[in-house]
Amino acid sequence: MAAKAVIRFAVLLAAAMTIAAAPGFTQTNDPSLNQPRTDCVNGKDAAGADCAKDGGGASGNGAAQAGAVFLPALIVDLFPNPAEAPPPLPTPNPRNDQAGGTTPSEPTPPGGPIISPTDLITTEPPRAVTGEFVPDEVLVTVDGDANAVQQIAASFGLQVRSQRQSRLLGSTLVRFGIPDGRPVGVVLAQLAADGRTQRREPNHVYSLQQAAGIVNYAFDHITLDAKQANGENVRVAVIDTGIDDTNPALAGVIADQFDAMPGVPIEKRDHGTSIDGLIAGVGPLEGMAPGAKIYHARAFEGGKSTMDVILAALDWAADQNVRIINMSFVGPKNDLLGVACRNARGLGIVLVAAAGNNGPKAPYGYPAAFDGVIAVTATDAKDQLMPQANRGAYVFISAPGVEMVAPSGAGTDVVTGTSFAAAIVSGAIANLIHAAPDRSADDIEKALAATARDLGPKGRDNDFGYGLLDTKAAEAAKN
């Protein structure tokens, strides 16, 4: 009888272990899972179609995540791990543990087990991640201190690569590394199970908007008298590449500098030097707002940056009490960037961004497409639209940006792109603020829209926005 009881117990135990090992239907830990396969975990693709129609939404060839961008030289050493991280503490259990009777809102008992990433379930479907992004990182705002951050990392099998308090986001921003190859969209969905994670986003990649590379015709076309142009003491932040601050055009122009990626050597200085020069340059290559003070944040190398680096630059700019922030770059929509822009605008800062150089059929470019950001497209000496410019309802205003002479790291250059059109608008706005320091960001935006010279179909359109910037008319416009 005792032998039979032992056999029955062994059979029941094996059955129980088999049931416990069965994964939830939304689980996946396939390191080769690309985005279409992620979308099809629950049998439907991003559009809701049956994945069986195309073989399950993926080729099954182990391709890397769609849109993922590997930037080892840019990413690896930006924020090295702390030398001695505190040991993991007991953490909330992000799964329904039927055996223990706990729920996601109940803490694991002290000394309880740390969960393996393969044992996690999601409270929402895996996210479809669009645009370029760092393939082994996510950005998360956390409600809690450093101990909470370490607990989350331990619970979800992640690495803490950087963390800091963000002024514009109003919480702790953490850059988590994914060491085991899980797709970003899956990790974002898994993290949603922990109530301490407020916002969860990919670490998107953004690109500077320079399309090429004759006299600077911008003054005449935006009705700004070069002899009367003045941005004296108006603080303008520029988030861009490093600069050549020995260029004569920038003499006395740079009030302060910040390096948001100190672990990456500076190799390119042209783009940032041109942007600063077009805004406030001095000498033969005088900018739109001579006398303006530039607060320059280096956040790009090789024309690329990531969301966490850009957010650090934005926080620094906000701390400098600037009136204008120029963002001559474009990337995918990212909720963290949207919150930062909204809060910067709430501080009274005028935000100016390049609409993008990716062509008429390109998706909206961000940050330009966020509400409260002035999206600038580029026109040439004949007031024709730059062919490579993005189109869309978010385009706000046009400004010269095709084949203009500007200072660069090599001295001077002929530049083209919505990047440089954005700089022209930032310089023009500095003139408006100098003339009326109490003018609000809302009033400036309304004045630009009301006084722009219509170039396309009557009224605002997707190509030119409200039309060509008219600085003189905008300055005269009343509240």
What are the sequence ranges of the domains in the chain? 34-44+66-203, 209-476
Contact of 81 with 67, CB cutoff 8 Å: no
CA separation for the pair 297, 316 (Å, rounded): 8
pLDDT tens track of the chain, all 479 residues?
A: 444 444 444 444 444 444 344 343 332 333 333 333 333 333 444 344 444 333 333 333 334 465 665 443 343 333 333 344 444 444 444 433 333 333 343 343 333 344 455 556 666 788 888 899 999 999 999 999 999 999 999 999 999 999 999 999 999 999 999 999 999 999 999 999 999 999 999 999 998 876 543 446 888 999 999 899 999 999 999 999 999 999 999 999 999 999 999 999 999 999 999 999 999 999 988 999 999 999 999 999 999 999 999 999 999 999 999 999 999 999 999 999 999 999 999 999 999 999 999 999 999 999 999 999 999 999 999 999 999 999 999 999 999 999 999 999 878 888 999 999 999 999 999 999 999 999 999 999 999 999 999 998 899 999 999 999 999 999 998 65
* CA dist., res. 400 & res. 216, Å (int): 9
d(CA 192, CA 376): 36
Phi first, then psi, for residue 174 (nearest 5°) are -120, 135
Which residues does the annotation mark as catalytic?
240, 271, 419
Q: What is the dihedral of CA 414, 419, 425, 426, to 10 degrees?
A: -110
DSSP code at position 44:
B
Q: What is the biggest distance separating any 2 CA atoms in the chain, rounded to whole angstroms?
A: 107
142: tokens are: 């956390």
Estimate the crossing angle of helix 307-319 against helix 335-346, to 10 degrees: 10
- Please give the Cα distance from 230 to 433 (Å, whole number): 10
Classified by CATH at the fold level, domain 209-476 comes out as Rossmann fold (3.40.50)
Give, in order, the Cα–Cα distances in Å from 300 to each of 18, 138, 262, 307: 51, 19, 11, 11
Radius of gyration of the chain (CA): 26
Q: What is the pTM of this model?
A: 0.68
Kind plus residue range of the DSSP H or E element containing 475: helix 471-476
Task: Return the closest-CA partner of residue 137 out of 64, 195, 68, 73.
Answer: 68
Closest CA to 344 of 383, 315, 379: 315
Spatial distance between the Cα atoms of 419 and 273, rounded to a whole number of angstroms? 12
